[in-house]
Structure 1
């Protein structure tokens, strides 16, 4: 029986030039951590050209790892593949017995073949024709080059051949921790978790700061950090600050709009002090432009006059875009909904 493996492809890491090995190593470490946290053992991760290959002592464990790879930033696509010997005859035998490996619940197909091993005795076009004939004869299926129900992918390397039928989309972005740490003011609403997710996608490990005036709201903050933790390298570091003294300090200000602006300004100042103690060089908020009076351009300019960089990942999004998260690609809307529910 042919063994299986998981192949991980990374997207943006190609752009990192001389620093690419560091980013790839960080991605490898993050995948390792995710598997270990979810009680997987006896697996290995190694580099394969510009991809990572994951193998396990028991390859039945590999499909169980897929949900956890979906939560690791820095992965463009990945797939579960059969690993065959680099041998034309054995490849043909595998295709002849395809029903031993895959359920045939489709009627049309095509082959997508590429060779990094140019010494392989057949070129891609010839392989497509000959392997296609085997499938048509053995399984009574039809070749359809445009929009087939199933695509058989074959990747021919010098050491082995990979055969798979599904590419699984990853979260893309950069590996969490590759860009450092950031301190996020977590309010407990919808905006700041979306901001956290966006920051993680850019390789930042997020540390949370919450200002509270009632202790009963703390449970929600801890729950949010817990739900975000699989995307954040399992970090759930939360700092809580009692905001009641700040409310008391500004209670003499008559206009509510100015009270809120000054309060948020004080939050930023306090956050800056904490960030310095934690050796964190930037802050982030979930502020979005012009939702309320304290989030106009002028108000945000006053609030964020700080001696430390302040990021606003959702600043340019409309409230509807934040709620539905339509601007994120693929099924990330569903990811955010799961975090918030």
Structure 2
């Protein structure tokens, strides 16, 4: 029978390095946890001695809640724990020490034994690791580990091993509780969602841009997504794949996210007979960046996010990246710029986007001229922008854009 674990402990890492503004990040993190766990049987969330403790009304919900907490940016480790009230433990320990007996730590040993019996699997040896956040406790960490380890060994016959054990029992002594747990799941770290502001993500149907969005979300960005579709209207466009990619990313957000669907027809109609085939791709990318920048300002986004990887395709040469939008007046964040395709694909699998990203989809970039210029010049693109009325194309496209909320 599984142990009741009505408390989940979570640790953070990078926030601890903050200075006077640490409380700002901590409030954001706690609010994000509450939002992510909306609808779950959460009684309260407490910040206790460099840890966050999530108290549940229903212990059976612990595995599900722990899984959601792993997707909260800012958290480093998550673990369901068995809480033991300090009052009873302290009273028993005082009696044992006064009588000159070996410390029993009965409740702690019982929890450790039951967890070991439940979770050890085929482990051949174990170790008890103790940490005292409350130094006023009557025993030192090695003494606690010895008492608990002895009890587990006597009841299970499992030998102890101090180096490289198969199985680890953790004991954490706090002021109000002693927490006992056997496993902890790694979260993604980073900064709390929304703590770095908002940015507009150019979201395609491929592998790269969802990874770029996720990496910047991990740095505290709250994203809006913009996608450019072919077709006369959004009803004719096949955007189900794009919506699914946005939903996958929204799983890591405490709030619903906006997906803006923008038509490319205004660009195509104005570029015919004006933009040569060699510059079709880079001019189309300029149209996307200029549209995204204008929409970003409307949505109070302070930057753009793009999935560019230097030299991966012809439009992402260093010349073309510099020439496409010299007059953008917004920073463009490119978290993948130094990654190769294998690294990006590995991240795509980690975040769960890869199976959707590789589904067949004919995005707008795939139908552009197959032989784009490799060394575009900014002055040429600015001249072509005037000749084809790129600003008019941007305005017309955004007038007919559709916004959908994903969560």
TM-score by length of 2: 0.77
Pair 97,247 (structure 1): closer, same or farther in 2 beyond 3 Å: closer
Cα drift, residue 255 of structure 1: 4.3
Counterparts of 1:138-153 in structure 2, within 5 Å, are 138-153=155-170
Would you say the 8 A contact 1:184–1:207 is kept in 2?
yes
Matched, 1:91 2:91: no
Alpha-carbon deviations, 1:211-270, whole Å to 9, x = none? Answer: 111343322211211121111224230111111120222222564331111111121112
Alpha-carbon deviations, 1:25-73, whole Å to 9, x = none? Answer: 111111111111xx31342111102111111122222222111112111
Which of 229, 232, 243 aligns to 1:222? It is 243
Would you say the 8 A contact 1:44–1:55 is kept in 2?
yes
Matched residue SS, 2:294: helix
Which of 35, 38, 46 aligns to 2:37? It is 35
Would you say the 8 A contact 1:212–1:242 is kept in 2?
yes
Is the radius of gyration larger for structure 1 or structure 2?
2
Cα drift, residue 296 of structure 1: 0.2
1:313 is matched with 335
Alpha-carbon deviations, 1:67-91, whole Å to 9, x = none? Answer: 1112111101121111112224673
Pair 217,209 (structure 1): closer, same or farther in 2 beyond 3 Å: same
Which of 196, 216, 225 aligns to 1:208? It is 225
Matched, 1:322 2:339: no
> In 1, Cα distance between the equivalents of 2:300 and 2:237?
30
Which of 20, 23, 31 aligns to 1:21? It is 23
2:214 is matched with 197
Would you say the 8 A contact 1:84–1:91 is kept in 2?
no
Q: How many pairs does the alignment contain?
A: 334
Counterparts of 1:51-66 in structure 2, within 5 Å, are 51-66=51-66
Would you say the 8 A contact 1:75–1:170 is kept in 2?
yes
Pair 26,227 (structure 1): closer, same or farther in 2 beyond 3 Å: same
Counterparts of 1:82-161 in structure 2, within 5 Å, are 82-86=82-86, 87=89, 88=93, 91-96=105-110, 98-101=112-115, 102-103=117-118, 104-105=120-121, 106-161=123-178
> In 1, Cα distance between the equivalents of 2:280 and 2:332?
21
Matched residue SS, 1:321: helix
Cα drift, residue 114 of structure 1: 1.3
2:277 is matched with 256
Pair 48,233 (structure 1): closer, same or farther in 2 beyond 3 Å: same
Pair 2,234 (structure 1): closer, same or farther in 2 beyond 3 Å: closer
Specify every segment of 5 or more residues in structure 2 that has no aligned partner in the other structure, as ranges. 94-102, 359-407
Comparing 75-84 with 98-107, greater Cα deviation is found at 98-107
TM-score by length of 1: 0.91
1:329 is matched with none
Would you say the 8 A contact 2:193–2:219 is kept in 1?
yes
Matched residue SS, 1:198: helix
Cα drift, residue 313 of structure 1: 1.3
Cα drift, residue 98 of structure 1: 4.3
Would you say the 8 A contact 2:216–2:335 is kept in 1?
yes
Would you say the 8 A contact 2:153–2:159 is kept in 1?
yes
Cα drift, residue 301 of structure 1: 0.3
> In 1, Cα distance between the equivalents of 2:18 and 2:247?
31
2:68 is matched with 68
Would you say the 8 A contact 2:307–2:336 is kept in 1?
yes
> In 2, Cα distance between the equivalents of 1:2 and 1:253?
70
Matched residue SS, 1:304: coil
Specify every segment of 5 or more residues in structure 1 that has no aligned partner in the other structure, as ranges. 327-331
